[in-house]
Structure 1
Amino acid sequence: MKKIKLYIYTAISSLILFNCSGYLDEENLGNTTAENFYNTETGFEGLVNSAYATLRDVYQPTPYMFCAGTDLFFAAHQEVPLGLASYQTLTPSEGAVETLFSNLYKSIQITNLALHYANETENFSSLPSRIAELKVIRAYYYFLLVQEFGDTSLVTDLVDSPITHFERAASSDVYEFIIDELTVAINDLPPSPSNFGRLTKRAAQHILAKVYLTRGYETFGSTSDFTEAATLADAAIGGQSLNLSFNQLFDYQNDNNEEILWSIQYNKSQSGEVSHNWDYPWGPLVQGSDDGVNKKNTLHPTEYLFTLFDDNDKRFEGTFLNIKTTPYSGWLLDPSNTPVQYYYPRTAAQIAGVAAWIAEDPNNRSNTIISPIDPHWWDGLNQTDYPSLRKFDRVQTSSVQYTHDIYLARLGETYLIAAEAYLQSNNPGNALARVNTVRQRAGADSVSNVDLDFILEERARELAGEGMRWLDLKRTRKLMEYTKLRNPDIKTLVDGGVDPFLSSDGNYKILRPIPLSAIALDSGDYPQNPGY
């Protein structure tokens, strides 16, 4: 396999071991050499923990790369990179693209470092599992790379000297590598984690199911990919029901719940608050409050998303905060003593029951502004008066330092992966059963048939804001179709006779561009993606 770019090898010399919760605690290495320390169980465990910590680097930025330019959210502020929001001006110099590309390869280098020392460290009982965990993390990073950028340079060895040229491996080869790595790793992973947050057999099965599902849509994929994806997704489900209410999945301080197969964990570390920026872009505008909340209306929900939920679908209130309190986090920390500034009823029953709602808590609700659903909710100029996406809300007061975990694999999505895979492998009965399991937990009515569009609607209702949508639309080849109809930024261009996806070279901007800085550092001819 080819090694990585010139600028990536520097990650070795700048490697920092991060402090994380519980099992990720590190020791200060002092003057101990890497060779001596990583050859011990304690040292190697620290190296594995540093590989987990790289997930925070990949997911720390505001999630424009994962959520902008879809049918669920549009850009309502100039902070959102215009190229990601509407594609027309997307170029190889886009900073958010370069950040993701660079962070993924730097993180891969750290996993390569750990896997290098796996061959040299002392033997201990959990070593096979730790090696498997590293392989899954690295495979997951390559899965992100191949979806975002297509043909990808495969780096499987420790890079300890500058590399001035490398080749891009064909996407088909990258998928083969990912599948091989995950298949091997599954055999050595435990069924349940020794510490919450560690990878397990079921988490790896979930990821591998999604890899097969995604490859099935590629020109080099086949129906057998969908069949394999369905089998793996059912194995990851393992007979477990969706027992929690949807609200409980994202409840305050309930991040370590039974439906989470894999997540990035956050807590206050010895060096200060460890956090991400996934609570920031959903608005409405909250700044300078006394509870440490900082929100801005940058990614605004579309009319399509706000109106996608049936009246009895509890996922709306589990996704969006249907009140706005002063201070913002009062609804979490002290609801009985916090005035409600806005109330957002959406169903006919909720609107008709406003008086009864106020009567339930007149001390906090008598002065509430009632703001029922209508077009002002999805007006991008509306900075303050619409329901906030609540899934990643954080609290940062003098006594509370809380950042919600980011879920990378959870059981509700596993059911929907199985549903999509069964549908595409010509088994609509099983697809329907998996979809209805998800809907029943949400309180929504069961349906009698499903197609791909309906499954994507279910994924929108279940996973809005969780960083899946751009990848979902790209995988199913619905990105241009859906966004041209539902994203106002893109629809405005299309209605004006401009196709923002179409490049001057006649190709469509479906993949992300290879960063210009990366190409410039290569001493050979490193090809750019079509459309750029």
Structure 2
Amino acid sequence: MKNLKTKIISIAILSVILLVGSCTNDILEEKPRSVFTPEFFKTELGVEGGITALYGHLRFLYGNWNYYNSLETGTDEYTYAESADGNFKDMDLSGVGSITSESAPSSAPWNYCFGAINTASGIIENATEVGLSDALIAEARFFRAFDYFLLVQTYGGVPLDLGAGELQFNTSTNRSSVRNTVPEVYTRAIFPDLVKAVSDLPDAPRYTGTATKNVARLYLAKAYLTYAWWLQNPNNIPTYPEAPRTDPDGHDASWYFQQAYDVATTAINNPGPYALQEYYYDVNLASNDRNSEMLLYADHTEDSEKYNGASLGWGISGNADNASVWMVTSNYTTIRSNGASTVLREAAQSYGRPWTRMAPTINVFTNTFAEKDLDSRYDGTFVTSYRGNWDKGGDTTPSYTNANGMQIVPGDAVVTFLDEDNPAVDYGDGTKANLGGGEIPGRSDYVINPGDLNRRFYPGLWKLGTYRTDNAGGLGSPNAGLTRPFPIAKFSEFYFVAAEAAVKGATGSMTATDLINVIRARAGKWRFDNGEQQERIEDNSADMINDTPATVDIDFILAERSREYFGEGYRWLDLVRTQKWGEYAATYRIAGVSAADHSPQTFTRTIDAHHYLRPIPQGQLDSMEGTDADKSSFQNPGY
């Protein structure tokens, strides 16, 4: 596996970073080394540096725009937008492209996880010799399992032997490879490492953002849940390499669903330093990043370009940039008020750099977020009003003429996406505000109905939006990659995992309804209206609970997961796990690429069974020894 060897060595040389500090409020300080040999792993400094490097590798996956595309485009959450290139159209499966072994978006786990796995194996093998604690070794075990779990969900069975033996640290070039089966990957790698990590990790993080018992518990519960679905295989989705849907340890799907429930509820009852935020708005509020609900994230900082892992002045500067949200941001900078540019790029959560590569489907606003008044999650997810900020760009004009000839001042809404379709909206000739906005008598803002959205202009994703503290009252640096941490795992997901397991037959002190109502009750609480940009003290928890259906099923769980985690990179994995992708994403509605197009069409996707696994990257196949037949047998069927 020459390709894997190259990845492993490059990570070893470029990503070694050192641990500093002595308390949980300290951070992991990164210090690149020019040389990182296998012998270095036999030193305490080397092993500790390798552990810290495992946190750094998260940036190459989470926040990486192409990988983000592969997790969202083609689901019921996103389709391609006006400025999409082939990377985005391929993932949509709607007749404008196709996923192949050369498709870049789906290759990231293969390209980055194996290097981290090998680093983790090197740490595990050498840690005892250099006197490292069980807790530090457990962090390496967590990451080895974390990466294998991501790989097995994406590609099916993957190699456990990277050239030196199963789960052994490899330092030699090996251009051959054998893929293990899905049950082997789970039972030999993922479950043992995570069980040991849960046992040995501390309750509280040793540094801000490092792994703990509950971080490992979440991934153990998710792995149990995902493997249980795989064993059950309700829609007869094929696996690869081919293997019986039986567990080597003799357990059935019900046993694993119960394990998922038990592990998740144990975490809920023993939260340690973690807790749900009181308001959903605060979960993703940029000034509240790294809050008590965040279990794991790919970290960034605006304090240092070296520690940020990417440029602080421009992006995309590399694969470690946090730039995902730009892909789902439409070009709001084309908005005009009587010819004047009134909404400028700003390094603030509602703005940022617009790439217009991915667009939410109309179904998101009419179905997923049909309830927008009681439930605060729609408001805490999207940018629903673009507001004048020309003053921050140096324009001292006190007001501009906007919709209906009315005046607006800085901070006023220039364009608003309505919560519900209003037949009174007049789009005129489609050129109003230079983006196809409409007017309603008496309103100074241009408006757009949720049922009239197109691939050109649509609500942005507020929750992952740009944020800087160094704007100094101006527009700041909106063209630089985000310096916010990209969220990977949240404490709230324990409730979803346990509820899903309960729907699948697991039992315990809390029912699926009990669990999901904790999340829904929180969603009913408001302290701020993001769309209106004003305080809103309101508690609709009782109404939200009363609206929970009498029987919570998997469809309701999946709808709630989308409302809770919309646009965060969960959706493809959720739909693949539950084998609902073809059902949920087969069709979607949206209008065309013109700003004036408010006549949506229904688009159909071709989602075949083989699409439930991504292709092995062509670069891997090209680097392997063997005949064309050997390489073909290594590739997932259908690609």
Please report the TM-score for the alignment, with normalisation by the length of structure 2: 0.71
Q: Distance in 1 between matches of 2:391 and 2:567?
A: 19
What secondary structure, in the 3-state scheme, does the structure 2 residue paired with 1:23 have?
coil
- Hey, what does 1:342 align to over in structure 2? 415
Superposed CA deviations along residues 82-131 of structure 1, whole A, max 9, x for unmatched, are 2211176111111222333212222323323333432432x25xx21111
Alignment check: 8 A CA contact 1:202 1:237 kept: no
Q: How does 1:134-145 map to 2 (within 5 A)?
A: 134-145=140-151
Q: Which stretch shows the higher mean deviation, 196-205 or 417-426?
A: 417-426
How many percent identity over aligned positions? 27
Unpaired stretches in structure 2, ≥5 consecutive residues: 21-25, 232-244, 246-251, 313-319, 335-343, 393-408, 425-441, 525-540, 592-600
What secondary structure, in the 3-state scheme, does the structure 2 residue paired with 1:74 have?
strand
- Hey, what does 1:83 align to over in structure 2? 90
- Hey, what does 2:59 align to over in structure 1? 56
Amino acid at match of 2:286: Y
Q: Distance in 2 between matches of 1:34 and 1:6?
A: 14
Among candidates 282, 295, 305, match of residue 248 of structure 1:
282
Q: How does 1:114-513 map to 2 (within 5 A)?
A: 114-121=123-130, 123-124=131-132, 127-154=133-160, 155=162, 156-176=167-187, 177-219=189-231, 220=245, 222-238=253-269, 242-268=276-302, 269-271=304-306, 272-273=311-312, 275-286=321-332, 289=344, 291-292=346-347, 293-307=352-366, 308-309=368-369, 310=371, 311-327=373-389, 338-346=411-419, 368-371=444-447, 373-377=449-453, 379-380=454-455, 382-383=456-457, 386-396=458-468, 403-425=483-505, 427=507, 430-443=511-524, 445-446=544-545, 447=548, 448-486=550-588, 494=604, 500-502=606-608, 508-513=610-615
What secondary structure, in the 3-state scheme, does the structure 2 residue paired with 1:208 have?
helix
What secondary structure, in the 3-state scheme, does the structure 2 residue paired with 1:486 have?
strand
Query: For residues 37 and 514 of structure 1, do their structure 2 counterparts lie closer, same or farther at Cα, with a shift above 3 Å needed?
Result: closer
Return the offset for 1:517: 1.8
Alignment check: 8 A CA contact 1:283 1:295 kept: yes
Q: In the alignment, is residue 93 of structure 1 matched against residue 148 of structure 2?
A: no
Q: Distance in 1 between matches of 2:505 and 2:588?
A: 29
Return the offset for 1:8: 3.6
Amino acid at match of 2:90: G
> What is the total number of aligned residue pairs between the two structures?
495
Alignment check: 8 A CA contact 1:4 1:166 kept: no
Query: For residues 191 and 426 of structure 1, do their structure 2 counterparts lie closer, same or farther at Cα, with a shift above 3 Å needed?
Result: closer
Alignment check: 8 A CA contact 1:132 1:185 kept: yes
Unpaired stretches in structure 1, ≥5 consecutive residues: 331-335, 352-365
Please report the TM-score for the alignment, with normalisation by the length of structure 1: 0.84
Alignment check: 8 A CA contact 1:3 1:157 kept: no
Amino acid at match of 1:102: N
What secondary structure, in the 3-state scheme, does the structure 1 residue paired with 2:14 have?
coil
Q: Distance in 1 between matches of 2:333 and 2:190?
A: 43
Q: In the alignment, is residue 23 of structure 1 matched against residue 27 of structure 2?
A: yes
- Hey, what does 2:48 align to over in structure 1? 45
Alignment check: 8 A CA contact 1:72 1:487 kept: no
Alignment check: 8 A CA contact 1:65 1:97 kept: yes
Alignment check: 8 A CA contact 1:508 1:531 kept: yes
Q: Distance in 2 between matches of 1:312 and 1:162?
A: 58
- Hey, what does 1:66 align to over in structure 2? 71
Return the offset for 1:143: 0.7
Return the offset for 1:287: 6.0
What secondary structure, in the 3-state scheme, does the structure 2 residue paired with 1:509 have?
helix
Query: For residues 166 and 38 of structure 1, do their structure 2 counterparts lie closer, same or farther at Cα, with a shift above 3 Å needed?
Result: closer
Q: Distance in 2 between matches of 1:27 and 1:74?
A: 40
Return the offset for 1:193: 0.8
Amino acid at match of 2:149: F
Q: Distance in 1 between matches of 2:32 and 2:356?
A: 41
Alignment check: 8 A CA contact 2:384 2:418 kept: yes
Q: Greater Rg, structure 1 or structure 2?
A: 2
Superposed CA deviations along residues 15-61 of structure 1, whole A, max 9, x for unmatched, are 33358995321346578x75776545444322211111001112242
Query: For residues 472 and 322 of structure 1, do their structure 2 counterparts lie closer, same or farther at Cα, with a shift above 3 Å needed?
Result: same
Amino acid at match of 2:494: T
Among candidates 92, 113, 117, match of residue 108 of structure 1:
117
Amino acid at match of 1:322: T
Q: Which stretch shows the higher mean deviation, 234-243 or 91-100?
A: 234-243
Q: Distance in 1 between matches of 2:79 and 2:607?
A: 16
Amino acid at match of 2:419: R
Superposed CA deviations along residues 127-178 of structure 1, whole A, max 9, x for unmatched, are 2111111111111111111011001111422221110101000011111120
Query: For residues 30 and 151 of structure 1, do their structure 2 counterparts lie closer, same or farther at Cα, with a shift above 3 Å needed?
Result: closer
Q: Which stretch shows the higher mean deviation, 459-468 or 71-80?
A: 71-80
Alignment check: 8 A CA contact 1:342 1:371 kept: yes
Q: Distance in 2 between matches of 1:36 and 1:141?
A: 24
Amino acid at match of 1:167: V
Query: For residues 390 and 10 of structure 1, do their structure 2 counterparts lie closer, same or farther at Cα, with a shift above 3 Å needed?
Result: same
Alignment check: 8 A CA contact 2:225 2:497 kept: yes
Query: For residues 41 and 93 of structure 1, do their structure 2 counterparts lie closer, same or farther at Cα, with a shift above 3 Å needed?
Result: same
Q: Which stretch shows the higher mean deviation, 127-136 or 209-218?
A: 127-136
Q: Distance in 1 between matches of 2:256 and 2:497?
A: 12
Alignment check: 8 A CA contact 1:513 1:528 kept: yes
Structure possessing the higher relative contact order (Cα contacts under 8 Å, 6 or more residues apart): 1
Alignment check: 8 A CA contact 1:19 1:270 kept: no
- Hey, what does 1:14 align to over in structure 2? 13
- Hey, what does 2:235 align to over in structure 1? none
Superposed CA deviations along residues 369-409 of structure 1, whole A, max 9, x for unmatched, are 242533223x22x33xx321111111355556762222222
Q: What stretches of structure 1 move > 6 A for 4+ residues in a row?
A: none
Q: Distance in 1 between matches of 2:6 and 2:32?
A: 27
What secondary structure, in the 3-state scheme, does the structure 2 residue paired with 1:342 have?
strand
Measured on the aligned residues, the alpha-carbon RMSD in Å equals 3.2
Return the offset for 1:508: 3.2
Q: Distance in 2 between matches of 1:168 and 1:217?
A: 21
Superposed CA deviations along residues 245-296 of structure 1, whole A, max 9, x for unmatched, are 0000011221121111222221032535374112211112146945352122
Return the offset for 1:69: 0.8
Alignment check: 8 A CA contact 1:394 1:404 kept: yes
Q: Which stretch shows the higher mean deviation, 511-520 or 40-49?
A: 40-49
What secondary structure, in the 3-state scheme, does the structure 1 residue paired with 2:492 have?
helix
